[in-house]
Amino acid sequence: MRLLIAFALVLGLAGLAYLAGRARGNRMVTAAGGRMGAVHSRPVYHGAYVAVLALAPALIVLAGWGIVGEGLIEGQVLGSLSAAERPAPGNDSEALLNEVRGLVNGDLPQAFNPLAPRLAPVYAAARSNGDLLAGALAVALLAMGGLWGWSRLRPDFRARNRVETQVRALLLVASVVAILTTFGIVLSLIFESIRFFQLVSPVEFLTGLQWSPQTAIRADQVGSTGAFGAVPLFWGTIFIGAIIAMAVAIPLGLMSAIYLTQYADPRVRKWLKPILELLAGVPTVVYGFFAALTIAPLVRSFAVALGMTNASSDSALAAGLVMGVMIIPFVSSMADDALAAVPRAMRDGSLAMGATPSETVKKVLVPAALPGIMGGVLLAVSRAIGETMIVVMAAGLAANLTANPFSSVTTVTTQIVALLTGDQEFDSAKTLSAFALGLVLFVMTLILNIYALAVVKRYREAYE
Amino acid sequence: MNQNPAIGHNTVPKMTARDVNVFYGQKQAIKNVSIDVSAEHVTAFIGPSGCGKSTFLRCLNRMNDTVDGARVEGRIELDGQDVYASGMDVVQLRARVGMVFQKPNPFPKSIYENVAYGPRLHGLARSKTDMDEIVESALKRAGLWDEAKDRLNESGTAMSGGQQQRLCIARAIAVDPEVILMDEPCSALDPIATARIEELIDELRGRYAIVIVTHNMQQAARVSQKTAFFHLGTLVEYDDTSSIFTNPKATRTKDYITGRYG
């Protein structure tokens, strides 16, 4: 809240800096007799230049305080305790600090820890001092930056070019944020996975055929041996995402792309293509309950009709079929691009030889577009194996290593959801295994994506 | 204006066109063109860019069917058969009337497969030996055998531009068509490759009826025996090549030939 007020204040002052810079620019234009070109930049650029110089350091200070401030305050609060009273670092300290925060913010009527009421005023004072200090520093830097920028304004000052540089810096920061976030995600996955691999050997994890992540809480507990062989999960993921779903999506996606690019009347294409791409916009949870409530029972009845009396209601087939439908637009739109990129001369050459349109598609267009189509398929596979909702709702939790599409299998994503929902303890292999699974999934999709993009790129170079 | 298509012919024409009009949507590209194409001669279509010569050429094997919004009126006959009749099989028509395009467009397949493409489509070879013979004779007739015989399995797209165009000609003659349409076949080639294609056209003359569209008047004079001059979608003059170039009857032809416009 205080930070928000400081933020608003800084923005307001930067607005004033803008007005001051613009006013000075206007005066320079008037002094030059209003002649075009006498002042290098228009007054708005003078204003923008001053405003950015004022705003940037202040924002950095405020953001920095927002990130490290809490840690500094906590250090100060714990430091106020004598060594004997100080709780052990980790969970105990965290619990105490949470109570202190609760008391200061008024969320907690009464604390359990007797130290908490004593620390509350220390915490409140530290926080208000820190906020005040950060706010003051921000405003001071704002004033300095603004004044410095304002003092540099001259008729021949190239404010317009400076603003361009500032804009470029802003855009760079925006893109770096996304990259840093990705790095952060990867690092957190890696650190938690390392903790997991200290408990379970990577060899067992990557090659074991038994998946039963329940670990025993008591020594005599039954059926909680804790087996972390993830092969059945990898198999289930590939079985549903790369085999069944692709068996649906590749033919349907490719054929619809062929129809849309080669046969459809432009008016039909104009309507049909957006409708097909609408499939990509359906929330995956909707696909999930469609799979669980509509397709799964049908698949089960079909299995029973085939004589499988013990057919499961959660089946690989139901999840895979619906997932296949979900990724049709990925395959078809990549195949569409690839087919459209084949030069018209190829098609004309084949037609002029007396080939029918379908012969032309089969013998010339699809072979020529194959790398692009393959790239689309690989991207679709990587999308499919990372897909979660459909398999959570329709594929089941039993880690079976089976090629029977009517039986229940489970996938990496399903298990991650199961492991991380509900009560968890972050020191057990059960919870940590979710991160190792996530890491494997991440590496798999990353490799698929890189490979697919390389394939698509190589193909584009061939024609352009 | 000479609109009499029969001029200069003493044999039955291979293809005849009568009162052909072509529209692209609302725009009329060809106006009332009538012309006869003889089997023994090379016929050249000349005229400035956008005069409709390529459009008209593409009517002869119905390649305009592949253009959205194109409409053809009038009557075009191949050996007296109406090309646009509902009973006409386009696939068969294009097997009999082959085409070579402006830009060489070999398929991204081996040289062998490029030439074998048409014969495979139409089932012309009963065995691998048959096919080898067809490919060899087509490449020989296209003057490409010596250059290609040791690299039949290499990609057709790896050849030089001139070789690619001769490969496209070999591909067209592999199905033994009766007519070959060439749409500015040398416009993407250098002078040496152009000379080779022109020699080749001369060698093929008599065996196939050849119609060539060109914007290069010297080329028309070199390779053709009949020349048709198109302007603004109409056929201005059609006569023996020698007469067109030495003694044009229409003023527009004369102006074009002498380089007044175009």
Mark yes or no for CB contact A351/B63 under 8 Å: yes
Q: A144 CB contacts (<8 Å, ≥6 apart)?
A: A57
Closest chain B C-alpha to A357 CA, distance in angstroms = 10
Q: What is the residue whose two structure tokens read 């999840």? A: A319
What are the tens digits of pLDDT across the range A280-312? 889 989 999 899 999 999 998 998 888 887 777
Between CA B43 and CA B21 the distance in angstroms is 20
Instruction: Indicate whether B5 pLDDT > 70.
Output: no
User: Which candidate in B60, B120, B121, B122 is best for mutational testing of the A interface (most A CBs within 10 A)?
Assistant: B121
Report phi then psi at B212, rounded to 5. Answer: -125, 130
What are the chain A neighbours of B90 within 8 Å (beta carbons)?
354
Average pLDDT, stretch B2-17?
65
**Of A343, A355, A367, which is closest to B121 when you measure between CB atoms?**
A355
The percent of residues in chain B predicted with pLDDT above 90, rounded, is: 66
Query: For A199-208, A453-462, B140-149, B209-218, which range has the lowest pLDDT when averaged over its residues?
Result: A453-462
Instruction: Name every chain B residue with its beta carbon within 8 A of the beta carbon of A352.
Output: 61, 63, 94, 98-99, 101, 172
Where are any strands of DSSP class E within A241-362? none
Predicted confidence at residue A428, as pLDDT, reads 78
Say how far apart CA A421 and CA B54 lie, in whole Å.
69
pLDDT digits (tens, 9 = 90+) for B56-85: 999 999 998 888 788 999 999 999 899 998
Whether B171 sits inside 8 A of A353 (CB atoms) is yes
Sheet of strand B179-183, all strands in order from the earlier edge strand to the far edge: B97-100, B179-183, B209-213, B42-46, B226-231, B234-240
Tokens of A212: 């039963």
* pLDDT tens digits for range B86-121: 888 999 999 999 999 999 999 988 999 999 999 999
8 A C-beta contact, residue A296 and residue A315 = yes
Contact A351 B66 (CB under 8 A): yes
Rounded Cα distance, A402 and A221, in Å: 29
Q: Do A345 and B172 lie within an 8 Å CB cutoff?
A: no
Residue B63 CA: distances (Å) to CA of A439, B106, B257: 55, 18, 29
Is the CB of residue A233 less than 8 Å from the CB of residue A391? no
Contact (CB<8Å) A348/B168? no
Model pLDDT for residues A116-127, shown as the tens digit of each residue? 888 888 888 888
| Confidence class for position A245, pLDDT limits 50, 70, 90 | very high
- State how far the alpha carbon of A263 is from the alpha carbons of A209, A257, A267, B210, in Å: 49, 10, 11, 31
CB pairs < 8 Å spanning A and B: 63
Phi and psi angles of residue A461, each rounded to the nearest 5 degrees, phi first: -60, -30
Please indicate whether, in this complex, the C-beta atoms of A368 and B118 are within 8 angstroms of each other. Answer: no
Q: For residue B99, give how far its alpha carbon lies from the nearest alpha carbon of chain A (Å).
A: 6
Q: Which of A353, A356, A360 to mutate to test the interface with B (most CBs of B within 10 A)?
A: A353
- How many CA atoms lie less than 13 Å away from A55 in the CB half-sphere? 19
CB B120 within 8 A of CB B202: no
Angle between the N-to-C axes of helices B128-141 and B161-173, in degrees from 0 to 180, rounded to the nearest 10: 130
Which tokens in the block code for residue A150? Answer: 């304002």
Torsion of CA A182, A183, A189, A190, to 10 degrees: 150
A413: exposed, middle or buried (C-beta count within 10 Å: 0-12, 13-18, 19+)?
buried
> Would you list which residues of chain B are within 8 Å, Cβ to Cβ, of chain A?
61, 63, 66, 68, 90-95, 98-99, 101, 103, 105-109, 117-118, 121-122, 168, 171-172, 175
This model of the complex carries an ipTM of 0.88
B101, A345: Cβ pair inside 8 Å?
A: yes
Q: Are strands B179-183 and B209-213 parallel, antiparallel or unpaired?
A: parallel
The Cα-based distances of A70 to A65, A105, B36 in angstroms read 8, 14, 92
Name the pLDDT band for A438 (thresholds 50, 70, 90).
very high
How wide is the angle at C-alpha A40 spanned by C-alphas A37 and A45, nearest 5°? 120
Whether the predicted pLDDT of A113 surpasses 50: yes
- Quote the minimal CA–CA distance from A367 to chain B in Å: 8
Nearest 5°: the CA angle A126, A130, A135 is 155
Of A184, A178, A213, residue with least CA distance to A196: A213
Distance CA A329, CA B224 (A): 53
Q: Quick check: A459 pLDDT over 70?
A: no
CA dist., res. A433 & res. A168, Å (int): 42
Cβ atoms within 10 A of the Cβ of A286, count?
A: 12
Q: What domains sit in chain A, N to C, each tagged with a CATH number?
A: 2-157 (no CATH), 227-462 (1.10.3720.10)
A355 with B105: Cβ contact below 8 A:
no
Question: How far, CA to CA in Å, does A3 sit from each of A123, A279, A340, B235?
Answer: 16, 43, 54, 82
- Residue-wise pLDDT tens digits, A83-108: 777 877 777 788 888 888 888 888 87
Listing from the earlier edge strand, what are the strands of the sheet with B27-37? Answer: B27-37, B15-24, B70-78, B81-82
> What tokens appear for A91 in the block?
């969970």
pLDDT of residue A323: 93
What chain A residue is nearest to B170 in terms of C-alpha separation? A353
Q: What is the pTM of this model?
A: 0.75
Q: Using CA atoms, how far apart are residues A451 and A376, in angstroms rounded to an integer? A: 11
Partner-chain contact B171 A354, CB within 8 Å:
no
How far is the C-alpha of A153 from the C-alpha of A159, rounded, in Å? Answer: 8
Distance in angstroms (rounded) separating the CA atoms of residues B54 and B37:
15
pLDDT attached to residue A88? 77
**How far is the alpha carbon of A274 from chain B, nearest alpha carbon, in Å?**
21
Residue type, position A190, single letter: I
Chain A, residues 352-411, CB within 8 A of chain B, namely 352-356, 359, 363-364, 367-368
A364 vs B68, B107, B168: nearest CB: B107
d(CA B178, CA B78): 10
Distance CA A348, CA A355 (A): 10
Hey, is the C-beta of A350 within 8 angstroms of any chain B C-beta? yes
Residues of B within 8 A of A363 (CB-CB) are 107, 117, 121
A461, with CB counted inside 10 A (0-12, 13-18, 19+), is exposed
Cβ-count burial A141-170 (b if 16+ within 10 Å, e if not):
bbeebbeebbeebeeebebeebbeebeeee
pLDDT value of residue A225 = 62
Task: Spell out which residues of chain B touch residue A342, defining contact as CB-CB under 8 Å.
Answer: none
Closest Cβ opposite residue A352 in set B94, B103, B122:
B94
Q: What band does B10 get if pLDDT is binned at 50, 70 and 90? A: low
- A31-84 residue pLDDT tens: 888 776 788 888 899 999 999 999 999 998 988 888 888 888 888 888 888 777
Q: What is the pLDDT of residue A91?
A: 75
Closest approach of A356 to chain B, Cα-based (Å): 7
Residues of A numbered 285-344 whose beta carbons fall under 8 angstroms of chain B's beta carbons: which are they? Answer: 343
- The pLDDT of residue B2 is 44
Contact at CB, A359 and B109, closer than 8 angstroms: no
The helix/strand/coil state of B67 is coil
C-alpha distances in angstroms, A356 versus A368, B117, B118, B121, B175?
17, 13, 11, 9, 15
* A138 membership: H or E segment, kind and range: helix A115-152
Q: Which pLDDT score is estimated for A464? A: 46
Among A31-35, A365-369, B163-167, which is the least confidently predicted range? A31-35
* Dihedral over alpha carbons B233, B239, B243, B249 (to 10 degrees): -50
What confidence score (pLDDT) does residue A353 get?
Answer: 92
| Backbone torsions φ then ψ of A172, nearest 5 degrees | -60, -45
- Of the partner residues B63, B68, B108, the one whose CB lies closest to the CB of residue A348: B63
